[in-house]
Amino acid sequence: MPSHYVDLHCHLDLYPDFISAVQDAEQAGVYTLAVTTTPKAWPHNREVTHGTRYVRAALGLHPQLIHKRGDEISLWDQYLPEARYIGEVGIDASPRYYHSLEKQKEVFEHVLRMCAQHGKKVLSVHSVRSAKTVLDLVERCLPSSKGAVVLHWFSGSLSEARRAAEMGCYFSINSQMLSNERGRRLVATLRVDRILTETDGPFTQIEERVACPSDVGHTVQAIAELYKSPAEEIKDRIAANLKSLLAVEP
């Protein structure tokens, strides 16, 4: 039986037509994680994706919004029991968001501890210029037996990537990561049993248009070329990795 493509990080609710975006992913048969940026978006995302076969909604509180939405963590707590998938969460230490770094750390630590308390959550984690801090917090607050971490669009160092893999983290890779030599070098070092694919749509483009879940085949092809493996073999490997990621039942 042929495997399905995987888009483990896509902002479907930020496309011009959210419902159509969900339907397109569903019709394409792409296992898609619809991440959210604030907990206020959770009820509608849950409603639209309810009953779909391939699309799941994630409960998020984006680190870039913490400076003005940090107080929504109480609402995030309220919805947490309903959510198996968590994202987008994490830390962004880039210059534009550095002023809220301490608050971001506080919120992310809270997210991790709450996920550990509830158990069996799958997290899609943002770690821009903060890989060490993110990994330190994950190591301290979220044992691998209590939840699984997928590092979205990872841009840390090679040593940080090795550390993350040793901790049991996965990496979701998009086409833009493979568009430059540094990104290709990083992805080439990743263990094949730890890679997944994503689009991060609508924030990436394929062939001069906004990427959507059905475009992950382009990323699979690029990974296959990098690993010098057949594309179908990489596609199957990623599907198997998703199965492993979700193996611990909630």
pLDDT of residue 1: 65
> Among 113, 126, 129, 47, which residue's Cα sits nearest to residue 80?
113
Residue 129 structure tokens: 């210029």
pLDDT of residue 250: 43
pLDDT of residue 247: 86
Residue 49 in this model has a pLDDT that exceeds 60:
yes
Residue 249 in this model has a pLDDT that exceeds 80:
no
Q: How many helices (H) and strands (E) does the chain have?
A: 10, 10
CATH code for the domain of 184:
3.20.20.140
Domain count, the chain: 1
**202 prior amide bond cis, ω within 30:** yes
On whether residue 131 sits in a domain, the answer given is yes
Report the predicted TM-score, pTM, of the whole model to 2 decimal places: 0.97
Q: List the Cα angle 75/79/80 in 5-degree steps.
A: 110
On whether residue 250 sits in a domain, the answer given is no
On whether residue 55 sits in a domain, the answer given is yes
On whether residue 47 sits in a domain, the answer given is yes
Q: How confident is the model at residue 235 (pLDDT cuts 50, 70, 90)?
A: very high
Length of the chain measured in residues: 250
Widest distance between CA atoms in the chain = 50
Outline where 16-100 has alpha helix (H): 18-28, 42-49, 66-69, 73-79
On whether residue 235 sits in a domain, the answer given is yes
Domain that residue 167 falls in: 6-245
